[in-house]
């Protein structure tokens, strides 16, 4: 059990590390605003990029930025619109606003924003539907990716709307449902939230009534990440292995330089889960080659995760699973019976009145100072408004 001094030290260290990690840059105006896309209950902004001569029935990639980034900055540094020009797909960039979260983090841990047909998740779903209709895009080739809080929100979208997505990619993100309050979110990020594979399976299955087919998922994680513990990548992989019925499957493993790549294939030989870990890489998006621009938390490690993710999805040249191998819309694979276990109980949601739901220690001396340290660190981490 952690003592108060342990917790205070962790909060203080987190606040000191975060600072202003993603300093916003000035990015070229490649992205256009979508002004009307529905009721927008999450109060997000929608931006998009359509390459010249975009073909009919082109794929759509949804990209979710990290904390203290904006859509244009993440596009500039990640190289997604460069690749869209080369490969012929459209891009959608949901963008957080400071009224929702002052650090511009997507609220992946708040039940009001991370459940189907609610808050930010519903806003993103509305953006996708609007763009598919307006641009004649292929509704069977919609993908989502994101970094950190954006990676966690990408997993929210995959879990809550699995019928919408052919695939996803989670970079330094979190398992769906691992947190529903600020203290839980903090524990989850640090790798302190213990959950069995069965618990993770249950959290994902509770997110929607979907029975399959399921999106293919790529996971990326730096092994020297001190913001989101590497154990979270294993939790995400376990969560998606369960619904793909690959718990007992032995992955194919490739090691190249500092990268370890594990691939789980279904009975047809299709790669449906890929876990990439990069040795000595900290918290950020892996970059390399001719795509993107390195910067804070956009890390030149000689591997372009942008290009590798698009190849895994089958929408860019290179090793990939053919998109045509995905079952047609409306078809369903039979779902396996759930494993025998008790449904895990979830802690109560944080009250709106209490902000993020963090209480001050019930001691008279130093209450204001302690509360200030905790709140400063949580705001820096994007876990408190």
Q: Please tell me whether residues 328 and 359 are part of one structural domain.
A: no
Determine, yes or no, domain membership for 129.
yes
Determine, yes or no, domain membership for 135.
yes
Q: Pairing state of beta strands 45-49 and 60-64? A: unpaired
pLDDT of 364 higher than 60: no
pLDDT of 347 higher than 70: no
pLDDT of 13 higher than 80: no
Provide, rounded to the nearest whole percent, the portion of the chain with pLDDT above 70.
Answer: 75
Instruction: Supply the CATH number for residue 330's domain.
Output: 3.40.50.1820
By annotation, the residues acting in catalysis are 148
pLDDT grade for 329, boundaries at 50, 70 and 90: very low
* Edge-first strand listing for the sheet containing 271-278: 32-34, 45-49, 90-95, 60-64, 142-147, 167-171, 216-222, 271-278, 259-265, 252-256
Domain housing 131: 29-349
Q: Please tell me whether residues 385 and 298 are part of one structural domain.
A: no
pLDDT per position as a tens digit, 197-255: 899 999 999 999 999 999 999 999 999 999 999 999 999 999 999 999 999 999 999 99
**Per-residue confidence (pLDDT) for residue 4, from 0 to 100:** 40
Lowest mean pLDDT among 16-20, 135-139, 204-208, 328-332: 328-332
Please give the tally of structural domains in the chain.
2
Q: Please tell me whether residues 233 and 376 are part of one structural domain.
A: no
Secondary structure E strands in the chain: 32-34, 45-49, 60-64, 90-95, 142-147, 167-171, 216-222, 252-256, 259-265, 271-278, 285-287, 298-300
Q: Please tell me whether residues 366 and 311 are part of one structural domain.
A: no
Q: Please tell me whether residues 293 and 154 are part of one structural domain.
A: yes
Tell me the mean pLDDT in the region 326-351.
32
- Collapse the DSSP code of 253 into the 3-class scheme (helix H, G, I; strand E, B; otherwise coil) and give the result: strand
**Per-residue confidence (pLDDT) for residue 88, from 0 to 100:** 98
Determine, yes or no, domain membership for 49.
yes
Determine, yes or no, domain membership for 10.
no
**Per-residue confidence (pLDDT) for residue 194, from 0 to 100:** 73
Q: Please tell me whether residues 171 and 45 are part of one structural domain.
A: yes
Average pLDDT over all residues of the chain: 82
pLDDT grade for 354, boundaries at 50, 70 and 90: very low
Determine, yes or no, domain membership for 359.
yes
Q: Please tell me whether residues 97 and 184 are part of one structural domain.
A: yes
pLDDT per position as a tens digit, 78-127: 999 999 999 999 999 999 999 999 999 999 999 999 999 999 999 999 99
Token pair recorded at residue 240: 């998606």
Q: Please tell me whether residues 367 and 345 are part of one structural domain.
A: no
**Per-residue confidence (pLDDT) for residue 182, from 0 to 100:** 85
Determine, yes or no, domain membership for 18.
no
State the Cα–Cα distance between residues 57 and 85, nearest whole angstrom.
Answer: 15
Q: Please tell me whether residues 280 and 159 are part of one structural domain.
A: yes
pLDDT of 349 higher than 90: no
pLDDT grade for 376, boundaries at 50, 70 and 90: low
pLDDT grade for 29, boundaries at 50, 70 and 90: confident
Q: Please tell me whether residues 218 and 293 are part of one structural domain.
A: yes
State the Cα–Cα distance between residues 243 and 334, nearest whole angstrom.
Answer: 11
Determine, yes or no, domain membership for 4.
no
Of 214 and 8, the structure prediction assigns the larger pLDDT to: 214
Tell me the mean pLDDT in the region 168-194.
93
Of 243 and 4, the structure prediction assigns the larger pLDDT to: 243
The answer to whether the CB of 385 falls within 8 A of the CB of 358 is: no
Using alpha carbons, select from 148, 98, 92, 102 the residue that is nearest to residue 124.
92
Q: Please tell me whether residues 199 and 170 are part of one structural domain.
A: yes
**Per-residue confidence (pLDDT) for residue 284, from 0 to 100:** 98
Determine, yes or no, domain membership for 17.
no
Q: Please tell me whether residues 221 and 322 are part of one structural domain.
A: yes
**Per-residue confidence (pLDDT) for residue 317, from 0 to 100:** 86
**Per-residue confidence (pLDDT) for residue 334, from 0 to 100:** 34
State the Cα–Cα distance between residues 37 and 109, nearest whole angstrom.
Answer: 24
Of 352 and 206, the structure prediction assigns the larger pLDDT to: 206
């Amino acid at each position: 059990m952690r003592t108060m001094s342990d917790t205070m030290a962790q909060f203080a260290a987190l606040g000191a590390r975060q600072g202003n990690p993603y300093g916003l840059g000035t990015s070229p105006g490649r992205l256009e605003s979508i002004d009307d896309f529905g009721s927008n209950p999450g109060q997000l902004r929608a931006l998009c990029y359509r390459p010249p001569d975009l073909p009919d029935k082109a794929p759509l990639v949804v990209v979710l930025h990290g904390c203290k980034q904006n859509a244009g900055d993440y596009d500039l540094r990640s190289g997604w619109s460069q690749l869209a020009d080369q490969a012929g797909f459209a891009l959608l960039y949901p963008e957080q606003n400071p009224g929702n979260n002052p650090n511009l983090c997507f609220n992946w841990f708040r039940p009001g924003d991370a459940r189907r047909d609610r808050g930010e998740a519903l806003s993103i779903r509305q953006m996708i539907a609007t763009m598919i209709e307006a641009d004649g895009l292929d509704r069977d080739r919609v993908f989502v990716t994101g970094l950190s809080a954006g990676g966690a929100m990408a997993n929210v979208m995959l879990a809550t709307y699995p019928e919408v997505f052919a695939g996803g990619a989670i970079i330094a993100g979190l398992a769906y449902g691992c947190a529903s309050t600020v203290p839980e979110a903090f524990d989850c990020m640090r790798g302190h939230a213990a959950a069995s594979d069965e618990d993770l399976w249950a959290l994902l299955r509770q997110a929607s009534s979907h029975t399959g087919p399921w999106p293919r998922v790529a996971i990326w994680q730096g092994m020297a990440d001190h913001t989101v513990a590497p154990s979270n990548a294993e939790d995400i992989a376990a969560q998606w292995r369960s619904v793909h019925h690959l718990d007992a499957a032995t992955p194919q493993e490739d090691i190249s330089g500092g990268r370890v790549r594990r691939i789980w294939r279904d009975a047809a030989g299709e790669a449906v889960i890929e876990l990439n870990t990069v040795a000595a890489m900290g918290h950020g998006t892996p970059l390399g080659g001719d795509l993107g621009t390195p910067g804070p938390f956009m890390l030149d490690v000689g591997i372009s995760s942008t290009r590798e993710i698009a190849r895994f999805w089958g929408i860019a040249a290179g090793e990939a699973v053919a998109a045509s191998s995905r079952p047609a819309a409306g078809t369903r694979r039979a779902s396996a019976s759930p494993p025998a276990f008790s449904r895990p109980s979830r802690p109560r949601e944080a009250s709106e009145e209490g902000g993020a739901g963090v209480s001050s220690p019930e001691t008279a001396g130093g209450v204001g100072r302690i509360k200030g340290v905790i709140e400063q660190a949580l705001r820096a981490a994007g876990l408190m408004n």
